[in-house]
Amino acid sequence: MKLFNTLTRQKEEFIPLEEGKVKMYVCGPTVYNYIHIGNARPMIVFDTVRRYMEYKGYEVNYVSNFTDVDDKIIKKAIEEGVTSEEISRRFIEECKKDMSSLNVKTATTHPLATKEIQGMIDMISALIEKGYAYRAEDGTVYFRTRKFKDYGKLSHKNLDDLQAGHRDIKVTGDFKEDDLDFVLWKPKKEGEPFWESPWCEGRPGWHIECSVMSKKYLGDEIDIHAGGEDLIFPHHENEIAQSEAANGVEFAKYWMHNAFLNINNKKMSKSSGNFFTVREIGEKYDLQVLRFFMLSAHYRSPLNFSEDLMEAAKNSLERIVTAAENLKHLQENAAGGETSGQESQWLKEAQGYREKFEAAMEDDFNTADAVSSVFELVKFINTKVSSESSRAFLEKLSDLLRELCDVLGIILDKEADILEEEIENLMKERQAARKEKNFKRADEIRDLLLEKGIVLKDTREGVQWKRA
């Protein structure tokens, strides 16, 4: 199995630190609103990496955090007149709902930054003792970037170049020894959440949070650290500096980063009006379509989102689901008995599609080619099965298709049909809940309908529905 290591900028053979086990950390979202489809890409991509590792027999310890203390969370809390904890708790739950709809497996551990403050204080104290960090006059603790000799090894940035022209990691402050030093701990501001520390009442910097959570749940050294390419610098670069300075060993052996998601060939941004949450996409499509769409390109390639491409993904996914449904129907009516000689030969041929699937995934998790091999298998199945097929033959083909789709996180079973009367009644209940500002119940009803394959759309004429 080969993967592209951002650290060395080349594909490398994957060799775990401990045979048969994989320790993997994926940076999770900052929970101040519903996750957007840009957040969804790393969730889906690295969930698929995990699924393939498990398919190959590895025991995967998969850690993905929630950043639940941050300037954006505090700003949202002030706007709503509630606590930061209330905001983060609410949107963690909403994020988990979206992840479930995307069929993203629950992490082995989903740590919260606010629950690991003591570990952060301990690591910062160790960095101060080793001379890698210092307390400024105002109580802020900074990391001495220049003292860490390997700084820039992940992003391949040069400190002198950064000093001369780049502002990417500069944090304004009058008390820093060097403009390039970054924050480990900062003093509280009025109305902000804070914790006691040896330096001041305050809160941790963003970078130290992931270093500490990774250390606690995976150890000083891990196999894979992953996230979006926007995190390479400065976040992941700073994580390396802190972790390796504190722990004295290499932090992560392999670094994986997915490319950006564009909307109609433009960068997604609220100011451009092309910003979509997963929840908004879920009102138009079953989120299995979004997952399938995300896997239709290599994770290191930029991915363009558009309605035309989503429609194409929907139709493609339907072909796979229909083949699975057809197999299921034929099995229910098939005669018993063993596979015939011809069927046994066809089953050997079918294994060739598994081999093609595995070859694609072994080559830096090329899900685009893996999906292509699934389509070839579907075409093969459609030409070989009939009402005359033995049940054993149909079951083995069905098992193969399901096994490969499970690696991709594609669900093949359609939910049982729901009666139109039941849909209308639930929609009325949802409208009543919205009028009463009971948005939690309104969301629950929408999620229930979506689970049953019913997509709601708010229009000027009122709420409309269609079967996904």
Condensed to tens digits (0 to 9), the pLDDT of residues 409-434 reads 999 986 545 566 678 888 888 988 88
- Give the H or E element holding residue 4: strand 2-5
Out of 72-76, 92-96, 457-461, which region has the weakest mean confidence (pLDDT)?
457-461
pLDDT band at 175 (very low <50, low <70, confident <90, very high): confident
Alpha helices in 230-340 (DSSP H): 237-247, 278-282, 287-294, 307-333
Top-confidence residue, 451 or 113: 113
Average pLDDT over residues 378-399: 96
| Start and end residues for every CATH 1.20.120.640 domain found in the chain | 307-408
Q: Among 270, 287, 297, 395, which Cα is nearest to 343's?
A: 395
- The contacts of residue 163 (CB under 8 Å, 6+ apart) are 179, 180
pLDDT band at 48 (very low <50, low <70, confident <90, very high): very high
Out of 81-90, 159-168, 312-321, which region has the weakest mean confidence (pLDDT)?
159-168
Coil vs helix vs strand at 173? coil
Coil vs helix vs strand at 90? helix
What is the rounded distance in angstroms from the CA atom of residue 16 to the CA atom of residue 366? 20
Top-confidence residue, 447 or 388: 388
Coil vs helix vs strand at 388? coil
What is the rounded distance in angstroms from the CA atom of residue 152 to the CA atom of residue 169? 12
Residue 299 predicted with pLDDT over 80 = yes
Are the C-beta atoms of residues 248 and 219 closer than 8 Å to each other?
A: no
Q: 307-408 belongs to which CATH class?
A: mainly alpha
Domain 2-258 = CATH 3.40.50.620: yes
Average pLDDT over residues 345-373: 98
For the chain, give the percent of residues with pLDDT over 90: 80
Q: Among 190, 239, 201, 219, which Cα is nearest to 117's?
A: 201
Q: Could you read off the pLDDT of 131-152 as tens digits, one per residue?
A: 999 999 999 999 999 999 999 9
For the chain, give the percent of residues with pLDDT over 70: 95
Are the C-beta atoms of residues 68 and 88 closer than 8 Å to each other?
A: yes
Q: What is the pLDDT of residue 463?
A: 84
| Start and end residues for every CATH 3.40.50.620 domain found in the chain | 2-258
Instruction: Count CB-CB contacts under 10 A for residue 327.
Output: 24
Coil vs helix vs strand at 119? helix
- The rounded mean pLDDT for the chain is 93
Out of 94-103, 129-138, 437-446, which region has the weakest mean confidence (pLDDT)?
437-446
- DSSP string of 342-378? HHHHHHHHHHHHHHHHHHHHHBT--HHHHHHHHHHHH
Q: What is the pLDDT of residue 416?
A: 47
pLDDT band at 211 (very low <50, low <70, confident <90, very high): very high
Cross-strand bridge partners of residue 18: 21
Q: Could you read off the pLDDT of 316-354 as tens digits, one per residue?
A: 999 999 999 999 999 988 887 789 999 999 999 999 999
Residue 172 predicted with pLDDT over 80 = no
Q: Is the dihedral of CA 111, 100, 30, 241 positive or negative?
A: positive
- DSSP string of 120-170? HHHHHHHHHHTTSEEE-TTS-EEE-GGGSTTTTTTTT--HHHHHHT--TT-
Are the C-beta atoms of residues 72 and 32 closer than 8 Å to each other?
A: yes
Q: What is the pLDDT of residue 166?
A: 45
pLDDT band at 174 (very low <50, low <70, confident <90, very high): low
